[in-house]
A and B are shown apart, each in its own frame.
Chain A
Amino acid sequence: SYVLSQPPSVSVAPGKTATITCGGNNLGSKGVHWYQQKPGQAPVLVIYYHSDRPSGIPERFSGSTSGNTATLTISRVEAGDEADYYCQVWDSSSEVVFGGGTKLTV
């Protein structure tokens, strides 16, 4: 089965840039999507298909994928960005796969 690997936690100071990685075999050939989940709330899509942003998501959120690594970048981090972040792909052998999640601490 397909596996996505994320660091359990990332810490960043307010106003700085946060980088959250997601590792998986041949990620560049798949569509990588990112979700933000705050405590007690449902996940929210923040990046789809590697680097596209849904309407309503601030431009501070960006994504990229190269080779086996996808990256979610949050610029000018705010206290309100503190949340868990999950990457997700579709794989023909596993259907939908989520990474283990990364807790962003601001």
Chain B
Amino acid sequence: QVHLVESGGGLVKPGGSLRLSCAASGFTFSDYYMTWIRQAPGKGLEWVSYIVGSGTIIYYADSVKGRFTISRDNAKNSLYLQMNSLRAEDTAVYYCARNRGPPGPLTYFEYWGQGTLVTVSS
């Protein structure tokens, strides 16, 4: 069955960097858009970024554009999120999720990982 496991979270100082990983299994990874979604403590869900199966099409939320970089390695069935210039407001649980389809009315998330916590604090 589909399994997504995030890793790489932790405590980082403002202005610092962190790289998150998501290991995928149970499906043909390269066939799917993959997404990062975050949730600040006690807050709602916020979409961060998604990437097409080939890695050639990428979208970012305005809140992270220019600071975060999404990427994937289909040979390793892995999704990544490089986070630079981190701010206190980036503190959140970061989830990777598998898209149902390409951007459009059928863009929803059938499968989610358990999340990894990123804390930005001095």
Complex contact A43–B45 (CB within 8 A):
yes
B69 at the binding interface (Cβ < 8 Å): no
Complex contact B107–A96 (CB within 8 A):
yes
User: Which residues of the other chain, A, contact B46 by a CB distance below 8 angstroms?
Assistant: 98
Tell me the bound Cα distance from A1 to B61 in angstroms.
Answer: 11
A31 at the binding interface (Cβ < 8 Å): yes
Chain B: how many interface residues by the 8 Å CB criterion? Answer: 24
Instruction: Give which listed residue, B37, B103, B113, contacts A90 with CB less than 8 A.
Output: B103
Q: Which residue numbers of B lie inside 8 Å of A, CB to CB? A: 35, 37, 44-47, 50, 59, 61-62, 95, 100, 103-110, 112-115
Question: Smallest distance from the beta carbon of A9 to chain B beta carbons, Å?
Answer: 13
Tell me the bound Cα distance from A90 to B107 in angstroms.
Answer: 6
Tell me the bound Cα distance from A30 to B62 in angstroms.
Answer: 22
CB pairs A–B below 8 angstroms (16 shown): A31-B105, A31-B107, A33-B108, A33-B109, A44-B112, A48-B110, A49-B106, A49-B108, A88-B108, A89-B105, A95-B47, A95-B50, A95-B59, A96-B47, A96-B50, A98-B46
A58 at the binding interface (Cβ < 8 Å): no
Tell me the bound Cα distance from A101 to B115 in angstroms.
Answer: 18
> What 14 additional pairs, Cβ within 8 angstroms, besides A42-B112, A48-B106?
A33-B109, A35-B109, A42-B115, A43-B45, A43-B109, A48-B110, A49-B106, A49-B108, A88-B45, A88-B109, A96-B35, A98-B47, A101-B44, A101-B45
Complex contact B105–A86 (CB within 8 A):
no
With contact pairs A42-B114, A96-B35, A96-B50 given, residues A90 and B44 touching in the complex (Cβ less than 8 Å):
no
A97 at the binding interface (Cβ < 8 Å): yes
Complex contact B44–A31 (CB within 8 A):
no
Residue of B nearest to A88 (CB): B108
Residue of B nearest to A95 (CB): B59
Tell me the bound Cα distance from A35 to B62 in angstroms.
Answer: 23
